[in-house]
Amino acid sequence: MAASTTSWFARWKSCGKVSGVSVPPLPDAVDVVIVGAGIMGLATAYHLAKEHPRRRILVLDAGYLCGGASGRNGGGVRAQWSSEANVTLMRESLAMCKEFAHEHRINTWFRQGGYLFLARDDKRAQELTQSVELQRRLGLGTELVDGVEAKRIVPQLEPRGVLAASFNGGDAVVFPWPFVWGYAEGARALGVSIHTFCRVHAVETSGGAVSGVVTEHGSVRAPVVVNACGAYSPELARSIGVDLPTKPHRHEICASEPLKPFLGPLVAELGNGLYFSQSTRGEIVGGIGNPKTPEGTSQASSIRFLALYSRALITACPALSSLKIQRQWAGLYDLSPDHAPVVGPVDERPGFYLVSGFMGHGFMMAPAVGKRLARLLATGETPAPFDAWAHRRFKLGTTLSEAMIIG
């Protein structure tokens, strides 16, 4: 695996996080403005610049690189899904993640230990069985196992109550930050301008079509604006009169003291949303769903999360009953009404594109989605599965379904 040739501090400083860094002037006009310098926006910028080097591309972000959801997630990357579109997309994204270190010359700590999904009730066991059948038809080597066989995969697991489980050894865990840095540096090398600490107040229009953006440091003219703001996407959409029915949801996560390596796969439960994996440094990194989380964009931590997480973790893996937690943090999921992304152009506002609603799974999907969105922006051709993910589906009532959502 390729090692980073630049220190972490140098990369952090280059993101503009160090106080006193002057903000460079914005260009007067560009071809494409991407609002949001998370992995989704940067992947789109990188692939667009790579395939179409003459495009003038500007990426704007209100904070620093890795300051949003892209720098706050658990780093899971999997092909186990319940829909053909997601399985196909994630097979591509997994392959891209595996090659990322070589392409961008940066260590991503890519570890292909697999995902082990657990189902503890009849409904989810049936859904898991159907998902495995679909995955195998599509060429994945996913195995459907019972609790006893799941314990063979993770000997520390408590198998009682597990009605069904699925395991795919090709799924992986990575360290998220190098993906953001790698895309940012790759995009800059191709001529993309990336401005951090530059909040976009609104999208401007002329005759109903996009004409540019207004930022805290001035205006920029552009015929195309991509909304890659994650959980903050509805706010930017409202500035142009677009109703984007996604909502922010605080999701908490924590990391433990380092332990001797023992856990191969990432373990996830479909019922309560528990997931946990072991990092290359030995930490147990995990989270759990918390339906009582208040609405809003707060990223505070809570005692309730630790209580929910500890009870579920000890039930699933009693060997971790004395685990010591070192760090706790939170990020924002971007929830859509039907648990599916919202991607592509907005019919009522020519030049305005959405890439949102990824339910906390945007990081793992970003490499493939960014590449496909770049193709759409460059050619106008709509790649799969963007037709199904279109914003217009909410007006038409053609919503989607995905069973394998965790967290």
Domain assignment of residue 266, yes or no: yes
Residues 265 and 375 in one domain: no
Domain assignment of residue 373, yes or no: yes
Scanning the structure block, which residue is given the tokens 């501090």?
9
Here the contacts of 289-295 (C-beta below 8 Å, separation 24 or greater) are 289/406, 289/407, 290/251, 290/252, 293/249, 293/250, 293/251, 294/250, 295/247, 295/248, 295/249
362 vs 339: CA distance, rounded Å: 12
Domain assignment of residue 7, yes or no: no
Scanning the structure block, which residue is given the tokens 């805290």?
216
Distance between first and last Cα of the chain = 30
Structural domain ending residue among the three candidates 335, 355, 381 = 335
288 vs 406: CA distance, rounded Å: 8
What pLDDT does residue 292 have? 87
Domain assignment of residue 178, yes or no: yes
Residues 238 and 251 in one domain: no
Residues 99 and 226 in one domain: yes
Residues 102 and 197 in one domain: yes
Residue 265 is part of a domain; what is its CATH number? 3.30.9.10
Tens of pLDDT along the chain (407 residues) come to 344 434 433 444 444 443 445 668 999 999 999 999 999 999 999 999 998 888 999 999 999 999 999 999 999 999 999 999 999 999 999 999 999 999 999 999 999 999 999 999 999 999 999 999 999 999 999 999 999 999 999 999 999 999 999 999 999 999 999 999 999 999 999 999 999 999 999 999 999 999 999 999 999 999 999 999 999 999 999 999 999 999 999 999 999 999 999 999 999 999 899 999 999 999 999 999 988 898 899 999 999 999 999 999 999 999 999 999 999 999 999 999 999 999 999 999 999 999 999 999 999 999 999 999 999 999 999 999 999 999 999 999 888 888 888 86
Q: How far is CA 406 from the centre of its chain?
A: 13
Q: How many structural domains does the chain have?
A: 2
Residues 234 and 176 in one domain: yes
pTM above 0.85, yes or no: yes
Residues 263 and 283 in one domain: yes
Q: What residues pair up with 14 in beta bridges, in sequence order? A: none
What pLDDT does residue 12 have? 40
Structural domain ending residue among the three candidates 335, 363, 396 = 335
Residue 92 is part of a domain; what is its CATH number? 3.50.50.60
Domain assignment of residue 17, yes or no: no
**Tokens of residue 286, six digits:** 């995990």
Residues 202 and 348 in one domain: yes
Residues 91 and 177 in one domain: yes
Cβ neighbours of residue 173 closer than 8 Å, sequence gap 6 or more? 74, 75, 76, 77, 111, 113, 266, 277, 279
**Which residue range(s) make up the domain with 130?**
122-171+247-335
Domain assignment of residue 1, yes or no: no
Residues 365 and 275 in one domain: no
Domain assignment of residue 406, yes or no: yes
Structural domain ending residue among the three candidates 335, 359, 393 = 335
372 vs 355: CA distance, rounded Å: 11
Residues 157 and 262 in one domain: yes
Residues 265 and 356 in one domain: no
Residues 137 and 177 in one domain: no
